[in-house]
Amino acid sequence: MNRSSRNYQKALLSASALLALGGAALVGHTGWAAAQTTAPVTATPTVPAFDATRARTENERNTVEVVKAAQDGLVYVSVQSGGKVSSTPSAGSTPGNGNSDPFAGTPFAGLPFGQGGMPGFQNQPQRGTGSGFFIDARGDILTNYHVVEGADTITIRVHNHPETYTAKVIGTAPDYDLAVIRADKLPANLIKPIALGNSDGLEPGLKAVALGAPFDLDFSVTEGIISATARKIPVGVRGVSQSVIQTDAAINPGNSGGPLLDSAGRVIGINTQILSGGSDQNAGVGFAIPVNVAKTLLPRLTAGDKISTPRLGISYANLGALDSTALKTLHLPTQGALVMRVEAGSPAEKAGLHAGTQTITLQDGTTLTLGGDIITQIDGQTVGQNNELQSVIFGRKVGDTVNLKVQRGDRTLNLSAKLTDFTPKATTTQQAQ
């Protein structure tokens, strides 16, 4: 074989080795070169047909189902007043009566509890809106007492129907902020009761769906979770501390009286108030009256009762909520209920409780009437910072007797009072019970 043939064979072997070891690089290089000389090809993506069922999350599907099942049971409530003054705190007002904050010393001290519904009536014609929902086939509608309190006329409207119907108040429970109203001449086919659930089994983290008419935007839906159970806040015309459901589902003025639903579409609460931070708008903290409270009262409400809770007939200062330095200066104990006024003819007067006679004003503006009895125990329970006096009496029935341990000067007395639904002749600026 001559030299030229051997050189030719070496070239072929070298080329073969190059292809074997660097074929990928060669192909890649070839592809790049082709891209420089060939016009780009635009690929048309394949867009799958939209499937709403698959695109929605399980939570979204559940919410839609809950709303569809319950929305026809929601009622839009409109009221008109000729200028009466509401005794219920309006949105943005502070809890309790007058300048004594029943939540002093707690995370809620000094914060405004808005009713989440219409503002308090002024001395001129006022229109307000709220919500409610059907609870039975007769057409009874459950709502908040503060929505219809003092109203001269009440009209209602149901979902997807523009007609309005005149309604009247059937039963009320002012201290629970609940009322039942009933519409006149409402067609039976428009009555869609919403099933009542069980509020005792609730846990933080469970779903909560609120229906109502926030800011007059009728038939609106918001969703959140149960933030806390058995939260205590002032409820009703007397601002009595009661357990409520806390939720972060947006509740705003106009939602009052609307239902709070669980993931099964059952009513677990009646939307009532917000902790607004002063803006009268939702700040992520809303409250609902547990539906089990309402269920115990519904037989009487639908029968036309005005449910009254017992009273002792006193105005008092909760010493546990006052400044400890001021109490020390005044030689007062750090807990107990200082009796500042005893209503004539009240159970307190009949039991022999004494009121104070010397009125002073503390540096923080709190007015006290000194010299009266100090209730230190009620039925063996110490009256401390958590306003046990009010809570214990609220939990009793008209006709029950309570036993009071009283400090009068240097003496300790034991008194008994038979509770009635006594109504004072005039409101006072201190806490009343």
Can 262 be counted among the known catalytic residues?
no
Can 354 be counted among the known catalytic residues?
no
CB 188 within 8 A of CB 155: no
CB 288 within 8 A of CB 177: no
Query: Residues 6 or more apart from 123 whose CB is under 8 A from it?
Result: 83, 85
Q: Residue 293, class by beta-carbon neighbours within 10 Å (0-12 exposed, 13-18 middle, 19+ buried)? A: buried
Instruction: Please say whether the dihedral angle defined by the alpha carbons of residues 394, 395, 397 and 400, taken in this order, is positive or negative.
Output: negative
Which one of the listed residues 72, 101, 140, 177 is annotated catalytic? 177
- Which three-class secondary structure state does DSSP give residue 263? coil
Q: Residue 301, class by beta-carbon neighbours within 10 Å (0-12 exposed, 13-18 middle, 19+ buried)? A: buried
Whole-angstrom Cα distance, residue 153 to residue 81? 7
Can 175 be counted among the known catalytic residues?
no
* Neighbour count for residue 18 (Cβ, 10 Å): 12
Which one of the listed residues 241, 256, 276, 315 is annotated catalytic? 256
Query: Residues 6 or more apart from 163 whose CB is under 8 A from it?
Result: 157
- Which three-class secondary structure state does DSSP give residue 424? coil
Which one of the listed residues 101, 146, 218, 220 is annotated catalytic? 146
Catalytic residues: 146, 177, 256
